[in-house]
């Protein structure tokens, strides 16, 4: 193949690697969104336990946030991917299949990113809940709202108003942690950039392209979160 320039190498032409990088970027977005949603679900449950749970449950919640925040994200990915593969292989042997069974890379990455970011999301939600003025909750209760109605109409909108800036930071962490999932062989953006760099001998071109795509994803998601902050801050003096 002829020596191509930067734009030609990354183009969508016959010899360009643009489609491959775009597919990797879409996989990164899918993985990041899945992990972020899982982190939100975990963070919501653990936050509720820390605020309303009994003492043993609060101890477990504290242990989760302390341990997970003290472990590198890459180690969590290794534990889930290789540990899951070993478990599946062992189960296969029990049922008469002696071959190695690989744990799905996307599932391992989603679980690892979600569990790691869930600890961060827990503290974001907990801080946002305590930022709600007690008088607003008391007024809703005095108005006769039931607990489900208070949660839906008062607590969640107010909590999101205070939590969205922190959630934006967690999203950035999730987006960068998704790049680590390339160690499982998942065809996300970093994996595709490594493949292109190795095949063409142009690592600088491909890693610069990956950096630009990450910045584009970050900019679009940051704009979306800013719009969401504006929506939940309507009527509030800035």
Cα four-point dihedral sign 67, 69, 70, 76: positive
- The CATH number for 121's domain is 1.10.3720.10
How far is Cα 131 from Cα 203, in angstroms, rounded to an integer?
47
Domain count, the chain: 1
Q: Indicate whether 162 belongs to any domain.
A: yes
**23-44 as b/e, with b when 16 or more CB fall inside 10 Å?**
ebbebbbebbbbbbebbbebbb
How far is Cα 212 from Cα 160, in angstroms, rounded to an integer?
30
Residue 140 pLDDT: 85
Q: Indicate whether 224 belongs to any domain.
A: no
Residue 154 pLDDT: 86
Q: Indicate whether 127 belongs to any domain.
A: yes
**117: CB partners within 8 A, 6+ apart:** 35, 36, 39, 43, 170, 173, 174, 177
Q: Indicate whether 52 belongs to any domain.
A: yes
Residue 121 pLDDT: 96
- Packing angle of the helix pair 18-52, 189-200 (nearest 10 deg): 150
Q: Indicate whether 194 belongs to any domain.
A: no
Stretches where the chain sits below pLDDT 50 are: 1
Q: Indicate whether 40 belongs to any domain.
A: yes
Q: Indicate whether 105 belongs to any domain.
A: yes
Q: Indicate whether 3 belongs to any domain.
A: no
Domain ranges, residue 54: 26-186
């Amino acid at each position: 193949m002829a020596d191509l320039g930067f734009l030609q190498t990354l183009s969508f032409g016959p010899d360009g690697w643009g489609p491959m990088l775009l597919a990797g970027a879409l996989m990164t977005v899918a993985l990041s969104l899945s992990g972020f949603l899982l982190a939100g679900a975990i963070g919501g449950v653990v936050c509720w336990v820390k605020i309303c749970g009994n003492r043993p449950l609060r101890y477990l919640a504290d242990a989760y946030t302390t341990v997970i925040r003290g472990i590198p994200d890459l180690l969590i990915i290794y534990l889930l991917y290789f540990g899951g593969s070993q478990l599946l292989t062992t189960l296969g042997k029990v049922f008469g299949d002696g071959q190695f069974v690989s744990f799905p890379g996307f599932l391992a990455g989603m679980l690892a990113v979600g569990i790691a970011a869930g600890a961060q999301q827990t503290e974001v939600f907990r801080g946002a809940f305590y930022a709600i003025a007690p008088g607003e909750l008391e007024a809703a209760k005095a108005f006769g709202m039931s607990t489900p109605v208070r949660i839906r109409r008062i607590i969640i909108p107010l909590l999101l108003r205070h939590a969205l800036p922190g959630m934006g930071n967690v999203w950035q962490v999730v987006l960068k942690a998704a790049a680590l999932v390339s160690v499982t062989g998942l065809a996300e953006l970093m994996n595709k950039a490594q493949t292109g760099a190795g095949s063409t001998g142009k690592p600088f071109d491909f890693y610069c392209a990956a950096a630009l795509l990450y910045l584009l994803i970050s900019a679009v998601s940051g704009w979306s979160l800013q719009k969401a902050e504006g929506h939940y801050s309507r009527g509030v003096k800035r």
